[in-house]
Chains A and B, each alone.
Chain A
Amino acid sequence: MLIVKGAQIWKDRDLKRLDFSVGEGKIAAFSPSLLPGPQDEVLNLSGHYVYPGLIDPHTHVGLLEETTGNFAGDDVNETTSPATAGVRAIDGINPLDPGIRNACNYGVTTVCVMPGSANVIGGEGVVIKTAGKSVDTMVVSSAKKIVKMAFGRNITWTWSKKEKYPSTRLAVGAVLREKLNAAKNYMANPERVNTYEMEVLANLLKKEAIARIHVANLEDIETIDRITREYEIDYVLDHASALHTNPEYAKTLRVPVILGPLNVAGKSFQSYDVTCASVKVLLEAGLLVSVMSDAPVIPLNLVRLQMFLIDRYRLNRADILDLFTENPAKTLGIEKQTGSLDVGKDADFIVLDGDIFDYRSHVRSTYIYGKACGGEDYEMDS
């Protein structure tokens, strides 16, 4: 067993002076004072703060690789067809991408990696832990199956440039309906020949997968709501940049939202409504809200900057931490495994030398499955 002693622990939405033990990669017990046995390894963290590992529910790390120059290691958008449900993010992830290393070193222990937003149906996303050299060993298999989709300008811009279908919002909706119809027919056909693309879409119709839908504008959110109701599929709104402009409407949507990236300028036609204020508005509207970095749009060594900016709206700090831990865990369906420090959950935790909201504090070490695997100073070593 690993016995962690002396630290302030973020547990049940507050800092508490507790020791805890870790066995077989899981948190085993908490106590104000744990006595280590002769076989136990002791980690003395007096003066330090321990938080659950952070979770980023929307990234492209490993797909859109850093340091390769103009994203030469770019495997994020398969733009040879507007609907590519058959492609899988896991097949393009380079686990050695410095972007993943960054995540681990700065406290992000779990990320969801998805295809980009240039396709109406982009392909399957995957949830991984951020330590490892082989992506297969990093997968969090308990997570919900994820099908990435996108609405709006990224699609029409990509395909109108090629003078191809779908070049307008009308066609974006049509592509999605065509594909979901095809999947319905596929499921109804007793003599169907198994195709991977149709199986992925069938998972949506069987509610065994969720659609993760990139969207910015309100009119697109309405279209999404309409189509997902027609086909009875579960979905999450990703970015949802303009949703806060109509909180009354937001209340009627009982879906999780993943906001961000929040630290970007209004230069992008996709995100010009984006603001940290939307976190406050949508929490007040009663939605399950998480925050993404869209890494590498915001590199994950800067993950805490978004916390600092949201803090300017003077929300309860426990609510802010939830945006980066429990809420994304619930959205990804991994809340029984990670997202908080509780007995039986993965021992994914980060050790800081101060409060996580203090800009001077450093992530001294990151633990995944109870093993030390990163920290800010690791950056200099690698």
Chain B
Amino acid sequence: MKWILKNAIIHPVTSETFRGSILIDKGKIAQINPAERKGTKIFDGGGLHLFPGIVEEHCHIGTHGEKTNQTADQDTNEWSEPITPEMHALDGIKIYDFGFKMALANGITTLNIFPGSGSPITGIGVALKNDPSLRFEERILIKESGLKMAFGENPKSVHSKTSKTIQTRMATAALIRKAFQDALNYEKKADKEYNRRFEILLRVLKGELTAHVHAHRADDIQTIIRIADEFQFKIHLEHATESHLIPEIIAQRQIPVAIGPMFTAKYKIEVNNRSLRTPAILEKAGVKDLSLITDHPVIPIWNLPIEASMAVHYGLSEDLALRSITINPARNLGLDHRIGSIEVGKDADMILLDRELLDPTHRVLYVWTNGTLSYDTEKEGMVL
């Protein structure tokens, strides 16, 4: 169906803001400032602010049961053994979990869902379009969106108790090295039996799957850089809490970095240097590939644009702040050709707000996914 959204202040994110209209056709953004034709349905934006749907690069919605907090409803961490690349977040998602509605009502239209951080290698993530009108399988944007790995306190605290394989950061690094070495040895074998675990690790080594590495401390960040150099694979940093202590290393190597959750207490030693100034410090050092994450349910997903606001409060440019919750996470997921900005040819995932997105007092009024109205706040209420 063709329709026109007119009379809005349109913030494409990747280009200058303008007042105008857009034509949506077959779920895609078809034209900017189209001529109005008879018979085309028109939605009046009322002079309000139109932004692209927000992209969450790192959360646990659907695997970490909302409103229950019981083991029965939690499938985020398979911590029976330390190396489990064959786990897939897709297989643990409860698609009607309340978290999806919470995300949608607050304008988050794409969700990348990772396994947790309890093991050195925890498993594969999945990127979903947060469109309630689609069946589960249809919501999948990228079935295997990256291999989740983790350094620091979490694997230590989990596996010193469960599998008793890790006491120190050294063991975390050693187990990861061994896993990749085993995969390489497997590849060389002439008459091998198919082993999914090794096949996944080989895909990382061949550059077909990116390693998304949970690391807080600067030394943990440098350990994974060292290992990635040894085995020649691509990494994205997740959390990177102390990255502002080594911004030149991140900038020089152009490693994509996902900062957050920014709003928790300093409850672990490895997050003691958390600062709301980190994004601004990284930008100043020349880091461009910055995204922000909530790690929902660690902090509620409605905080994603508010993290961008607070980063601006501490000196991040508004341009990078907006990119860090839209086009940058889209690019990190390999989805920037489809989502993350308002451009012709992209999915019509859009949100209409009464104030600018970076103003945390804004209300999300309407959310469209694939050109269809998915959330009407007046009818369904705010979720926060």
CB pair B98–A266 under 8 Å, yes or no, is: yes
CB pair B272–A268 under 8 Å, yes or no, is: no
* Inter-chain contacts of B68 with A (CB < 8 A): 269
What CA separation (Å) do A298 and B362 show in the bound complex? 21
CB pair B267–A71 under 8 Å, yes or no, is: yes
* Inter-chain contacts of B360 with A (CB < 8 A): 305, 308-309, 359
Contact of B382 among A267, A305, A313, A362 (CB under 8 A): A313
Chain B residue at smallest Cβ distance from A295? B265
* Inter-chain contacts of A314 with B (CB < 8 A): 363
CB distance from A262 to the nearest CB of B (A): 8
* Inter-chain contacts of A308 with B (CB < 8 A): 306, 360-361
CB pair B269–A265 under 8 Å, yes or no, is: no
Residue B66 at the A interface, CB < 8 A?
Answer: yes
* Inter-chain contacts of B157 with A (CB < 8 A): 70
CB pair B266–A67 under 8 Å, yes or no, is: yes
Chain A residue at smallest Cβ distance from B359? A359
CB pair B266–A66 under 8 Å, yes or no, is: yes
- How many residues does chain B have at the interface if contact means C-beta atoms less than 8 Å apart? 42
What CA separation (Å) do A159 and B363 show in the bound complex? 42
Interface residues of A in 275-325 (CB under 8 A from B): 275-277, 295-299, 301-302, 305, 308-309, 311-314
Residue A247 at the B interface, CB < 8 A?
Answer: no
Interface size bucket, A side?
A: 35 or more
What CA separation (Å) do A90 and B87 show in the bound complex? 48
Chain B residue at smallest Cβ distance from A317? B361
Chain B residue at smallest Cβ distance from A269? B69
CB pair B265–A297 under 8 Å, yes or no, is: yes
Q: Name the residue among A299, A312, A314 with the largest chain B CB count within 10 angstroms.
A: A312
Residue B84 at the A interface, CB < 8 A?
Answer: no
Chain B residue at smallest Cβ distance from A264? B300
Residue B15 at the A interface, CB < 8 A?
Answer: no
CB pair A267–B263 under 8 Å, yes or no, is: no
Contact of B69 among A262, A268, A302 (CB under 8 A): A268
* Inter-chain contacts of A268 with B (CB < 8 A): 69
* Inter-chain contacts of B264 with A (CB < 8 A): 299
CB distance from A66 to the nearest CB of B (A): 4
What CA separation (Å) do A380 and B383 show in the bound complex? 35
CB distance from B92 to the nearest CB of A (A): 16
What CA separation (Å) do A312 and B363 show in the bound complex? 6
Contact of A359 among B269, B298, B300, B358 (CB under 8 A): B358
Chain B residue at smallest Cβ distance from A298? B263
Residue B309 at the A interface, CB < 8 A?
Answer: yes
CB distance from A31 to the nearest CB of B (A): 33
How does the 8 Å CB contact mask read for A118-133 relative to B, with 1 for contact and 0 for none?
0000000000000000
Chain B residue at smallest Cβ distance from A272? B67
What CA separation (Å) do A68 and B381 show in the bound complex? 40
Residue B313 at the A interface, CB < 8 A?
Answer: yes
CB pair A305–B67 under 8 Å, yes or no, is: no
Those 9 A-B pairs whose CB atoms lie nearest each other, nearest first: A296-B265, A69-B269, A265-B297, A308-B360, A272-B67, A267-B297, A66-B266, A265-B300, A311-B361
26 intermolecular pairs with C-beta atoms under 8 Å apart: A66-B265, A66-B267, A66-B272, A67-B272, A262-B384, A265-B99, A265-B301, A266-B67, A266-B99, A267-B66, A267-B67, A267-B297, A268-B69, A296-B266, A299-B265, A308-B306, A311-B361, A312-B384, A357-B361, A359-B309, A359-B310, A359-B312, A359-B313, A359-B358, A359-B360, A359-B361
